[in-house]
């Protein structure tokens, strides 16, 4: 049955056929599909056409809540043709756990801490527990609520509002619905964090071999998996462990060695690593550095050290149990200290690089170079579908994730090529040496930005290759010189603040948005119609040449043959393509991107035209037809 709920456009039918065939055959598929191909609806349609009635479950993984919303909206449309049960799953937060909403101290708890506290709340004392929202579920007609989810396809806020009225826990109620769902929309951690995945599989009541996993924005996945596997510990964490040790009477974890004694020794090791190995932002340390130093300084064997680490973890568990009974956030810094030391000593040299990272809050970091192990669910499931608008070169992605014998295909945007103009200039570059040694490089870039912004009265985004470069522009008063209202994406901005900035920019006319290529604005946010018509990309977002990046390059050279291409060039190219992609979100959108860096001419996936006069080209483009 054809489940596609709209009129086909461009390659949509071909993409659906490809996905349906791959899922039917139990194979994985890796697809780059340009803007306008309707990635969400085509992947859902293809997977559902193959999976409905087979007992297999579609797990649609997203990074953001807005992507999850899109899935539920598309299922609503598909359900007009055939009944599809989709459940949106979110982690515990103040909206999905009403107990948390009542206690602001819990707002910053990790999912693991909240899960522990939840189990404590749910413990029965007679016929009731400490969580009335949980008890209400047990005394209600679950089927009635499952029918509501099945028939109404509520968005998560609608479901939370429904539960609030009935004093039910949304998080627990969703778990009851999962075994009945055809599609589950969930954030990445439900599949890629092993301890969360174990619970998730139990709730779903199907083995992983019966799951079809769709990964949205898959270009982010390799780095996300590296982050998940990376193990690190900072000076501030050490200070917190020290304070907690003192607060709990600084117990001995082995004869003559208290928690604070061990903290002091690890701090000495950190100071030594900083003085001996830090070179710029970070430095490689021998993988056995910390273990050797601890053995040396404490006069202990590795077996005794392991016992000490375990002692810290066990003491942390005592702290956690006491906090749980008091219904406090079950957090332990001493336990986390022990877990770090255990994990650090288990990191193997082939997969991890050991680093000391400098800055205001220095840290030890065992950076995971290889996402292969963490990508295991994509290899163990029935079929996986990885999609993104910027996934080329596809073979690199498949290789990195370890998807053998997968189908790889690229589908271009169905929108007219005439609607997007890509220009670059060849007399500037943000290359570090060039900016430092060639006079006027920075001034020329500045002048280009000012002139380009002023040459047409259009909503314009200036995408900087780094926050540092954007800060330099701001410090030099460029926002005042461009004579337009300027909005800023700031480091570490809360999501709500960022969305306020974005909606003010969208609602304005002829204003400017200073943001960062690879930041939250350049990926995942839509600027249709006149919301953004001109994009200026200042420089190429190559990562800083740190020891970590050098290690990643070496690793990629060993695994894939070309380290620089794989670890530096391809990620930068994807980030730029994402930023440029903000301009054209529908078939009627028109826009120009000007790249202020000559090095873009070597990036084969960005088809740019050289210009000597970008302002004139921009004016000419907009003088033909209005967006």
148 vs 171 by CB, closer to ligand SF4: 171
Question: Do 295 and 301 contact (CB within 8 A), yes or no?
Answer: yes
Question: Which residue from 133, 344, 473, 622 is in contact with ligand SF4, where contact means CB under 6 A?
Answer: 133
Q: Does residue 173 belong to the site contacting ligand SF4 (CB under 6 A)?
A: no
Residue 300, CA distances (Å) to 253, 264, 295, 341 in order? 13, 16, 5, 15
Cα–chain center distance at 293: 35
Rounded to an integer, what distance in angstroms lies between the CA atom of residue 578 and that of residue 24?
31
Q: What element of type H or E holds 433?
A: helix 432-437
Question: Which residue from 49, 172, 182, 531 is in contact with ligand SF4, where contact means CB under 6 A?
Answer: 172
Could you say which DSSP state residue 3 is in? Answer: -
118 vs 478 by CB, closer to ligand SF4: 118
Q: Does residue 122 belong to the site contacting ligand SF4 (CB under 6 A)?
A: yes
Q: Does residue 169 belong to the site contacting ligand SF4 (CB under 6 A)?
A: yes
Question: Which residue from 20, 67, 88, 121 is in contact with ligand SF4, where contact means CB under 6 A?
Answer: 121
Question: Do 100 and 94 contact (CB within 8 A), yes or no?
Answer: yes
174 vs 347 by CB, closer to ligand SF4: 174
**Which residue, among 2, 56, 1, has the nearest Cα to 24 in the 3D structure?**
56
User: Nearest distance from residue 124's CB to ligand SF4, in Å?
Assistant: 12
119 vs 151 by CB, closer to ligand SF4: 119
Interface region with ligand SF4, contact rule CB under 6 A, candidates 114-122, 340-348, 366-374, 566-574:
114-122
Is the Cα torsion angle 79, 82, 85, 88 positive or negative in sign?
negative
Question: Which residue from 4, 148, 159, 171 is in contact with ligand SF4, where contact means CB under 6 A?
Answer: 171
Cα–chain center distance at 266: 31
Q: Does residue 16 belong to the site contacting ligand SF4 (CB under 6 A)?
A: no
Question: Do 191 and 200 contact (CB within 8 A), yes or no?
Answer: yes
Beta strands in 312-382 (DSSP E): 352-357, 363-368
Q: Does residue 168 belong to the site contacting ligand SF4 (CB under 6 A)?
A: no
Question: Which residue from 131, 356, 556, 570 is in contact with ligand SF4, where contact means CB under 6 A?
Answer: 131
121 vs 344 by CB, closer to ligand SF4: 121
Interface region with ligand SF4, contact rule CB under 6 A, candidates 91-99, 143-151, 313-321, 533-541:
91-99
DSSP string, 51-97: HTTTT-EEEEEESSHHHHHHHHHHHHHHTTTS---EEE---S-TTT-
Cα–chain center distance at 19: 24
Q: Does residue 338 belong to the site contacting ligand SF4 (CB under 6 A)?
A: no
Interface region with ligand SF4, contact rule CB under 6 A, candidates 61-69, 131-139, 467-475, 590-598:
131-139
- 3-state secondary structure (DSSP) of residue 584: coil
Rounded to an integer, what distance in angstroms lies between the CA atom of residue 500 and that of residue 47?
36
Q: Does residue 92 belong to the site contacting ligand SF4 (CB under 6 A)?
A: yes
Interface region with ligand SF4, contact rule CB under 6 A, candidates 28-36, 128-136, 233-241, 483-491:
128-136
Sheet holding 86-88, edge to edge: 86-88, 183-187, 57-62, 211-215, 383-388, 29-33, 407-411
Question: Do 83 and 147 contact (CB within 8 A), yes or no?
Answer: no
Beta strands in 285-362 (DSSP E): 352-357
Q: Does residue 99 belong to the site contacting ligand SF4 (CB under 6 A)?
A: yes
User: Nearest distance from residue 137's CB to ligand SF4, in Å?
Assistant: 8
Could you say which DSSP state residue 419 is in? Answer: G
Question: Which residue from 118, 235, 536, 603 is in contact with ligand SF4, where contact means CB under 6 A?
Answer: 118
Question: Which residue from 4, 134, 337, 555 is in contact with ligand SF4, where contact means CB under 6 A?
Answer: 134
Q: Does residue 368 belong to the site contacting ligand SF4 (CB under 6 A)?
A: no
Q: Does residue 159 belong to the site contacting ligand SF4 (CB under 6 A)?
A: no
Q: Does residue 97 belong to the site contacting ligand SF4 (CB under 6 A)?
A: yes
List % helix, strand, coil for the chain (3-state, nearest 5): 55, 15, 35
118 vs 403 by CB, closer to ligand SF4: 118
Interface region with ligand SF4, contact rule CB under 6 A, candidates 93-101, 322-330, 388-396, 532-540:
93-101
63 vs 122 by CB, closer to ligand SF4: 122
By the criterion CB under 6 A, which residues form the site for ligand SF4? Answer: 92, 97-99, 118, 121-122, 131, 133-134, 169, 171-172
């Amino acid at each position: 049955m054809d489940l596609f709920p709209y009129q086909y456009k461009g390659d949509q039918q071909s993409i659906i056929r490809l996905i349906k065939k791959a899922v039917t055959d139990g194979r994985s598929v890796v697809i780059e599909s340009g803007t306008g191909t309707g990635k969400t609806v085509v992947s859902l349609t293809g997977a559902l056409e193959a999976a409905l009635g087979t007992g297999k479950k579609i797990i649609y993984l997203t990074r953001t809540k807005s992507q999850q919303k899109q899935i539920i909206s598309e299922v609503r449309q598909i359900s007009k043709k055939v009944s599809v049960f989709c459940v949106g799953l979110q982690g515990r937060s103040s909206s999905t756990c009403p107990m948390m909403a009542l206690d602001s101290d819990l707002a910053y708890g990790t999912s693991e801490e909240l899960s522990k506290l939840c189990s404590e709340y749910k413990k029965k004392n007679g016929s009731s527990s400490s969580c009335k929202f949980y008890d209400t579920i047990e005394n209600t007609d679950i089927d009635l609520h499952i029918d509501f989810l099945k028939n109404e396809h509520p968005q998560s806020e609608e479901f939370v509002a429904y539960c609030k009225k009935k004093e039910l826990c949304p998080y627990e109620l969703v778990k009851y619905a999962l075994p009945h769902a055809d599609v589950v929309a969930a954030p990445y951690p439900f599949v890629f964090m092993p301890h969360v995945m174990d619970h998730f599989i139990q709730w779903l009541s199907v083995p992983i071999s019966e799951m079809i996993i769709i990964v949205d924005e898959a270009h982010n996945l390799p780095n996300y998996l590296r982050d998940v596997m990376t193990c690190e510990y900072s000076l501030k964490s050490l200070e917190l462990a020290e304070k907690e040790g003192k607060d709990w009477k600084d117990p001995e974890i082995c004869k003559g060695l208290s928690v604070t004694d061990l903290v002091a020794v690890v701090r000495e090791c950190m100071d030594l690593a900083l003085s001996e190995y830090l070179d710029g932002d970070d430095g490689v340390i021998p993988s056995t550095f910390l273990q050797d130093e601890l053995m040396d300084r404490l006069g202990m064997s590795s077996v005794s050290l392991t016992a000490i680490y375990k002692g810290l973890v066990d003491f942390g568990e005592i702290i956690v149990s006491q906090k749980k009974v008091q219904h406090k956030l079950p957090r332990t810094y001493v336990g986390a200290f022990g877990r770090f030391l255990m994990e650090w000593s288990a990191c193997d040299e082939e997969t991890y690089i050991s680093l000391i990272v400098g800055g205001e809050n220095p840290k030890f970091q065992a950076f995971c170079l290889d996402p292969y192990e963490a990508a295991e669910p994509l290899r163990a499931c029935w079929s996986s579908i990885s999609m993104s608008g910027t996934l080329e070169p596809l073979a690199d992605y498949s290789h990195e994730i370890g998807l053998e014998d997968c189908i790889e295909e690229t589908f271009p945007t169905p929108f007219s090529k005439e609607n997007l103009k890509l220009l670059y200039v060849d007399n500037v570059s943000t290359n570090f040496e060039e900016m430092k040694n060639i006079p006027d490089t920075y001034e020329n870039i500045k002048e280009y930005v000012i002139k380009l912004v002023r040459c047409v009265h259009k909503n314009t985004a200036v995408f900087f290759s780094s926050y540092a470069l954007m800060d330099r522009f701001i410090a030099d008063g460029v926002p005042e010189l461009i004579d337009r209202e300027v909005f800023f994406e700031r480091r570490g901005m809360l999501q709500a603040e960022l969305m306020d900035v974005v909606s003010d920019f969208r609602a304005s006319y002829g204003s400017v948005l200073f943001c960062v290529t690879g930041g939250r604005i350049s990926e995942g946010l839509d600027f249709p119609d006149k919301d953004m018509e001109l994009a200026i990309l200042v420089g190429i977002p190559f990562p800083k040449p740190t020891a970590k990046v050098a290690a990643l390059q070496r690793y990629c050279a060993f695994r894939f043959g070309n380290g620089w291409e794989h670890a530096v060039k391809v990620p930068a190219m994807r980030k730029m393509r994402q930023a440029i992609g903000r301009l054209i979100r529908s078939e009627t959108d028109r826009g120009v991107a000007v790249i202020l860096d000559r090095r873009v001419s070597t990036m084969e996936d960005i088809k740019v035209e050289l210009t000597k006069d970008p302002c004139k080209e921009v004016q000419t483009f907009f003088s033909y037809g209005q967006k």
